[in-house]
Amino acid sequence: MPDFDIAIIGAGMAGASLAAECAPYARILLLEAEDMPGYHTTGRSAAFWEECYGGPEIVPLTLASGPYLREHGFLSQRGALYVARREGVAALDAFMKRFGNSGVTIERIGRVGMLAQVPGLREEWCEAVWEPYCSDIDVAGLHQHYLSMAKRHRVTLECRARVAEIVREGSHWHIATGDGRSWRAATIANAAGAWADQLAEMAGAKSLGIQPYRRTVAQLVTDPAPKPDQPLVLDIEGRFYFKPESGRVWLSPHDEVASEPCDAAPEELAVAEAIDRFQHVVDWNVRKVERKWAGLRSFAPDRQPIYGWDPECEGFFWFAGQGGFGIQTAPAAAKFGAQLLLGLPCDDFTSSLDQALYAPHRFR
């Protein structure tokens, strides 16, 4: 008999939330390669819940997660502006059309409304899409919430547990780490983020083409300092975003550089490009870069997450490819993943989700 029903590999937001949802029904092992959970992507998130982020196919996951995040106190409403210069107005038209029937709350506003939200906006920025319900996420709080849930239900968490070998032995898996520890589990759930394809190949499953991309963020001291209630500002053409954070500005050049799975580090050129773009948006003076960091966002080839059983590798479940939207969709994704993993029926929380849209077999 295996030691555990399910071994979830990866204890970032994906693995922690899935473990918490599965734990009332099964014996769960949660393995984390680093010294503590959330070291990589989860701990480096820009921390916002934005209804349109990821595209219309992600909207059902985002909207289903919103009530849970609000009710548990993890959201602080901020609002978001997708801004455009005159030559970018057509992109605003396309954005409104793309999301018009998706269930998100958006409206078109002009320069007067933009200036009321973002003082110092340069003259060429003339129109925007306003998204009132965009909110900051308490990422650390949400992650600890799920880890605490998992602990209450007696999930076994093992850190510094970098998997070195996975072997199928009859009806269960044998999992071993480089330091000699080993466990047996009936099922493996792949929540390894940027390492998801590598883990799958280790288990004898085919990789699905999950590609990690580096995203850079810098924390700036500016003059004037941003007002705390200013919105998240995003370029409709995808060249930057920035938002206030504790009297500072969090700024990204919206970079997306293909990377091997790694401990991502910021590139000086990306930070310089971000600042240059920022200074073409507002007339604020950048006094200094206070800190900078980078994280990896991992996407499947079609940019949709992968939730479900591998069609060819027995006992292997995918919970990966969640790009930059994995945190804002965590409540619905974890509930949905647990239902698929445990054979439970959908409920009101997940009834709007299309299983086929996210299933691994779409790549076969």
For residue range 9-49, list pLDDT tens digits in order: 999 999 999 999 999 999 999 999 999 998 776 666 778 99
Average the pLDDT over 337-364 and give the result. Answer: 94
**Tokens representing 245?**
């954070």
Instruction: Strands of 10-88 (E only): list them.
Output: 28-31, 48-49, 75-77, 80-85
Mean pLDDT of the chain: 96
The pLDDT, as a whole number, for residue 364 is: 78
**Tokens representing 218?**
């810098």
The tens digit of pLDDT for each residue in 62-81 reads: 999 999 999 999 999 999 99
**Tokens representing 168?**
């199928």
User: Does 244 have pLDDT greater than 80?
Assistant: yes
The pLDDT, as a whole number, for residue 84 is: 98
Q: Give yes or no for a contact between 16 and 196, defined as CB atoms under 8 angstroms apart.
A: no
The pLDDT, as a whole number, for residue 41 is: 66
The pLDDT, as a whole number, for residue 286 is: 98
The pLDDT, as a whole number, for residue 79 is: 98
Structural domains in the chain, sorted by start: 4-43+139-208+302-363 (3.50.50.60), 80-132+211-299 (3.30.9.10)
The angle at the Cα of 205, spanning 203 to 208, to the nearest 5 degrees, equals 125
Instruction: Work out the pLDDT band at 230, boundaries 50, 70, 90.
Output: very high
User: Does 329 have pLDDT greater than 70?
Assistant: yes
The tens digit of pLDDT for each residue in 95-108 reads: 999 999 999 999 99
pTM score above 0.85: yes
